[in-house]
Structures are given as C-alpha cells and as structure tokens.
Amino acid sequence: MLGVVGGSGFYTFFGSDARSVSLDTPYGAPSAPITVGTVGQHEVAFLPRHGVSHEYSPHTVPYRANMWALRALGVRRIFGPCAVGSLTPDLGPGSMVVPDQLVDRTSARPDTYFDSGGIHVSFADPYCPTLRAAAAGLPGVVDGGTMVVIQGPRFSTRAESQWFAGQGFRLVNMTGYPEAVLARELEMCYAAIALVTDLDAGIETGAGVRAVDVFAEFERNIVPFKKLVHEALEAVDVERTCTHCLAHDGVKLPFELP
C-alpha cells in the first residue's frame, strides 16, 4: 500500500467511494481517520497532516502517531505533499519541487520511536531515491533543492530567511521534520513534493508572508497539485524494490515494527 500525507489546504484526496479507517497507536490517535482508495494499480491510504479542518498547527501535529498508523495499516511508501515558501526568486508561487535534502531548525518535537536501545538511523539522504525519481521525472517538476524546516507557527523574519538563502537553501517549510525521519525509523520510503506558495520575507520586499495569502495561493493550485500527486503515485512500481530506506538491516530493535 502507498500513502499520501496531505499538507495545508490538502485535506481530501478521494471521493465518497473511499473507505475510512480509524486507528489508535501507542502515541495516540493520528491527525484524522485514514481514507483508503485506488490510484492506478495501487491501493493508497490518505491522511491529512493537519486534520480534516486544520486542527493541528505545525508544532502540534501528532507526527509519531501519523507515521505509526500508516505503517500499521500496511503502508510502506509515502509521498508527503506540502506547502513551502521559496528562498529564491527562481522558484515563484505555483512551482512544484521535489527536494533532495532537508535542514532541521525545529525544537522540542518528538522525533524518534527509539528512546532506548542505542538505535541510530542513517539520514544522510533523507528522501527515498526511488520515490523521488517517480515524482521528479514528471513534466514541469523541479528536481532537487534543500528544504529548511522551521518550528512555526510563525513565519521567518527577514534576517532569518536571508540567512537561510545565504546558506544555499531553496525552500522553507514547517512540517517536513520529523515526518521524514520517523518514516525512515519505520523503514518506510518517503519523499516530499512541495508546492511553492510565496517568496519568503527576506527574498521579497513588502509586508512579508501572510497566512491568508499562503492559503489562497495553495487553493489556486490545488487541482494541478493533486493531479501531480496522482501522476507520481501512478509512476511508482507495483513492487517495492528500494533498499535505501531499510534503516535497520542487521540491527536488533527493542520492539517489533507494526
């Protein structure tokens, strides 16, 4: 089974024919019931990251419950569509990007399932190369770029976004971490697909980023963005062949994965 975790403005994915599954986990309930439908040859589970009515802010999303619930349902490969700000004028609003790196600037978010046992996962390349290739190979998609993940819920100051841009980062987001590393700990393939909604505060003069404008831009692009996610799912092979994301090969875990 494949999975899709929808970001801001991406609260539904299937029609009324999809089935709904409610799960509990050792980390509480996920953001919402999971809906399961079909895309091409794949059974696909969809979970809105922020809840069906955007109940969860970036720093309160139950990331561990979300990833655990998807794994328990049978998901092994996940696309994570998300809204991002751009740190370069080259990527204007409406651009769709498949990042290849992330930088974590969050704080105090539970970001592991392994509080004991000395388990350390490889995270040098945080996204699954196989899933990335499926999405990045689609027409009009920008392949690559570093996404810096900030704590939120506030947006960056001008000085912060100029600092990020000066480091060579291209995108800024609030939810890409710890979602990606939790998927890796559960040995699930994961790749982000980013929709640019704005130029960040330090890249463009004016009033700075406003939430109302971000949501409006996302809404303007939601139809082609969902179409892109559908096409990415259809481009994924039926059989999982990736070994890059099998983080615990040869390691004895303190508990069994769901």
Q: Which residues are catalytic?
A: 198, 200
Q: Is residue 72 within a helix (H) or strand (E), and if so which, with residue range?
A: helix 63-73
50 is in an annotated binding site: yes
186 marked among binding-site residues: no
What CA–CA distance (Å, rounded) separates 188 from 47? 15
Inter-residue contact 71 to 77 (CB < 8 Å): no
Q: Is 175 annotated as a binding residue?
A: yes
Helix H or strand E encompassing 143: strand 141-143
Residue 216 token pair: 């409006």
Q: How many CB atoms lie within 10 A of CB 16?
A: 4
Angstrom distances, CA of residue 115 to CA of 83, 103, 171:
31, 22, 30
User: Residues 86, 89, 93, 97: is their CA dihedral positive or negative?
Assistant: negative
Is residue 199 marked as binding? yes
Cis link prior to 126 (omega < 30° from 0)?
no
Specify whether the CB–CB gap between 232 and 73 falls below 8 A: no
What token pair was written down for 46?
């969809």
The response to whether 8 counts as a known ligand-binding position is: yes
To the question of whether residue 154 is assigned a binding role by annotation, the answer is no
Encoding tokens for residue 113? 């399932």
Query: Tokens 């990335």 belong to which residue?
Result: 132
State the helix-helix crossing angle for 211-235 and 129-136, rounded to 10 degrees: 100
Quote the CA–CA distance of 190 and 196 in Å, as a whole number.
Answer: 19
Element (DSSP H or E) covering residue 81? strand 77-86
Residues making up the binding site: 8, 49-50, 174-175, 198-200
Annotation: binding site for phosphate: 8, 49-50, 175
Binding region for substrate: 174, 198-200
